[in-house]
Amino acid sequence: MAEEIKKGLLGIVVDETTISKVMPEINSLTYRGYQVQELCENCKFEEVAYLIWHGNLPNTIELRKFESEERLNRRITKNLTKIIEHMPKKSHPMDVARTAVSVMALEDKETSDNSADANMRKALRIFAKVPTALAAFFRIRKGKKILQPKKNLTFSENFFHMLFGKVPRSEIVRAFDVSLILYAEHGFNVSTFTARTITSSLSDMHGAITGAIASLKGPLHGGANEKVMEMMSKIKSPKNAKKWINKAIDKKQVVMGFGHRVYKSGDSRVPTMKKYFLKVSKIKKDKKFHKIYDTVEKVMIKRKGIYPNMDFPTGPAYYLMGFDIDFFTPIFVIARITGWTAHIMEQHASNKLIRPLSKYSGEKHRKVVLLNQR
Ligand code: COA
């Protein structure tokens, strides 16, 4: 029988999930049945994290308990802090995040326990600690004193506090919170599938998350939000945008922040994120990035029929919020830990080793002839 190759697993349905549904035909996305846009308008990130893990939105008591557990688990060990202090200052924060999760695996008493209860506890610990590890590196490489997490702040407020020593005005925090909700989960994307593949050998959650972080780093996946900002910086000014993007298209360059494996007529998350990017842009009195955004989007749709993905609005939004460019993908990590860990738990609950086949196209069968006999 002829072996049909589906490169990149294009169009292959490999398993079921109850976590999220990506609907390219109507440009829609739901988490546990709730439309993501509605979640953005009505919930804070912690509620959505709870929803992704537990399947339902929390009531007041459940939310209070969940928030208090997250806040209690934010601190990282002195050992991990010291390791981060010794990391080369030029390390990419994605590599720092990956290494930090590996160290957390060494320190966690339940690393090898794959029971549902232990996995839920580990998910919460990884979720609460990764932002702290990243913030420590953010400050250390700038020669600044590390700031400990604060229990009286929300997840997003605390992240700003640990990086910058202050919490910005509520509209900025809200825009950041919305970006985390939109980044939290997205079906069987490459990093989630990586996490599920690692899990399928019955390996542990920390290992699956380190693999997922490595996968997300790539520019065809999460790394695109950093590349978007690098592109906008190269474009320099709105008046240069049209010429720049036309030239890029003529040279058949891949334009970062555009295109998607699943969505072909627009990413369901972009209208919401664009709205919040524009709010940030207005607060920061930015006209430049807003105008570059509009021009690049217009030309890409007109000439290529390719639409922006979520990384296009988050790039300039995070830049205007004050984050270093190489921290954009790590922000994606802190959001996506919720989705990854939910998938890891789902994979454990109904596991089958993931082991596809390959078609051999190498040398034909040949006999061993020792070198000195040739
Ligand atoms: N810029 C320019 N052309 C693009 C493009 C982009 N961002 N995305 C897709 N295309 C073109 C391809 O060149 C290809 O053209 P061809 O048929 O003439 O060769 C066609 O559209 C199909 O693209 P393909 O790469 O086969 O689609 P895919 O489903 O494999 O890839 C991505 C999807 C995301 C990898 C791809 O769109 C991309 O590289 N985007 C930029 C990176 C990015 O923003 N990633 C974040 C994704 S959320």
User: Is pLDDT at 5 greater than 60 in this prediction?
Assistant: yes
- Whichever domain contains 297, its CATH number is 1.10.230.10
Please name which of 354, 343, 352, 344 lies closest in space to residue 20, comparing C-alpha atoms: 343
Q: Which atom of ligand 1 is nearest to the CA of 249?
A: 2
pLDDT above 90: residue 363 = yes
Q: Is residue 372 part of a domain?
A: no
Q: What is the domain range of residue 233?
A: 224-321
Taking residues 263-286, report their average pLDDT. Answer: 96
Is residue 260 part of the annotated active site? The answer reads yes
Q: Are residues 271 and 214 in the same domain?
A: no
331 and 317 together in one domain: no
Which residue has a Cα nearest atom 9 of ligand 1? 259
Query: DSSP H helical segments within the chain, as ranges?
Result: 36-42, 45-54, 60-72, 78-85, 93-107, 116-140, 155-164, 170-183, 190-200, 205-217, 224-235, 238-250, 270-283, 288-304, 311-321, 328-349
Q: Tens digits of per-residue pLDDT, 324-347?
A: 999 999 999 999 999 999 999 999
Residues 160 and 284 in one domain: no
Question: Is position 92 annotated as part of the catalytic site?
Answer: no
- Is 204 a member of any domain? yes
172 and 203 share one domain: yes
* pLDDT > 90? residue 371: no
- Which CATH number is 139's domain given? 1.10.580.10
Write down the pLDDT at residue 3: 78
- CA of 258 from ligand 1 middle (Å) equals 7
If one counts the domains in the chain, the total is 2
Task: Identify the pLDDT of residue 7.
Answer: 95
Does residue 35 sit within a domain?
Answer: yes
Residue 241 counted as domain residue: yes
What pLDDT, on a 0 to 100 scale, did the predictor assign at position 337? 98
Same structural domain, 172 and 303:
no
Residue 368 lies in a domain: no
Nearest alpha carbon, ligand 1 atom 29: 261
- Structure tokens given for 207: 């290992």
pLDDT digits (tens, 9 = 90+) for 39-62: 999 999 999 999 999 999 999 999
How confident is the model at residue 189, as a pLDDT? Answer: 97
110 and 22 co-located in one domain = yes
In a domain? residue 28: yes
CA distance 39 to 269: 12
**Which protein residue has the closest C-alpha to ligand 1 atom 31?**
261
Mean pLDDT of the chain: 97
pLDDT tens digits along 279-312: 999 999 999 999 999 999 999 999 999 999 999 9
pLDDT value of residue 1: 57
The per-residue pLDDT for 370 is: 86
**CB burial readout 84-108, b (16+ within 10 A) else e:** beebeeeebbbbbbbbbbebbbeeb
Length, in residues, of the chain: 374
Query: Rounded to the nearest whole angstrom, what is the distance from the C-alpha of residue 260 to the centroid of ligand 1?
Result: 6
Q: Determine whether the shortest distance from the Cβ of 309 to ligand 1 is under 6 A.
A: yes
Does ligand 1 lie within 6 Å of residue 220's CB atom? yes
- Confidence band (pLDDT; 50, 70, 90) for 374? low
Nearest ligand 1 atom, CA 258: 7
Give the distance (Å) from ligand 1 centre to CA of residue 90. 30
**Residue 258: pLDDT above 60?**
yes
* Model pLDDT, residue 228: 97
- Whether residue 366 is contained in a domain is answered as no
Q: What spacing in Å lies between the alpha carbon of 327 and ligand 1's midpoint?
A: 24
313 lines ligand 1 (CB under 6 A): no
Same domain, 243 and 96: no
pLDDT reported for residue 77 = 98
Residue among 182, 231, 306 whose CB has most ligand 1 atoms within 8 A, to mutate: 306
Atom of ligand 1 nearest to the CA of 257: 44
Question: What is the tens place of the pLDDT at every residue in 80-129?
Answer: 999 999 999 999 999 999 999 999 999 999 999 999 999 999 999 999 99
Count CB neighbours of 266 within 10 A: 16
Same domain for 280 and 336, yes or no, is: no
Residue 143 CB-density burial (10 A; 0-12 exposed, 13-18 middle, 19+ buried): exposed
254 with 142, same domain: the answer is no
Identify whether 171 is part of a domain.
yes
Q: Does one domain contain both 239 and 164?
A: no
Same domain assignment for residues 283 and 332: no
Q: Return the percentage of the chain with pLDDT > 90, whole number.
A: 97
Cβ contacts of 12 within 8 Å, gap of 6 or more: 6
What amino acid is encoded at 11 in this protein? G
Residue 280 neighbours by CB under 8 Å, 6+ apart: 171, 172, 175, 286, 317, 320, 321
Instruction: Determine contact, residues 127/76, Cβ cutoff 8 Å.
Output: no
Specify whether 345 is located in the same domain as 268: no
Position 2 scores a pLDDT of 65
Look at residue 262 and tell me whether its pLDDT is greater than 60. Answer: yes
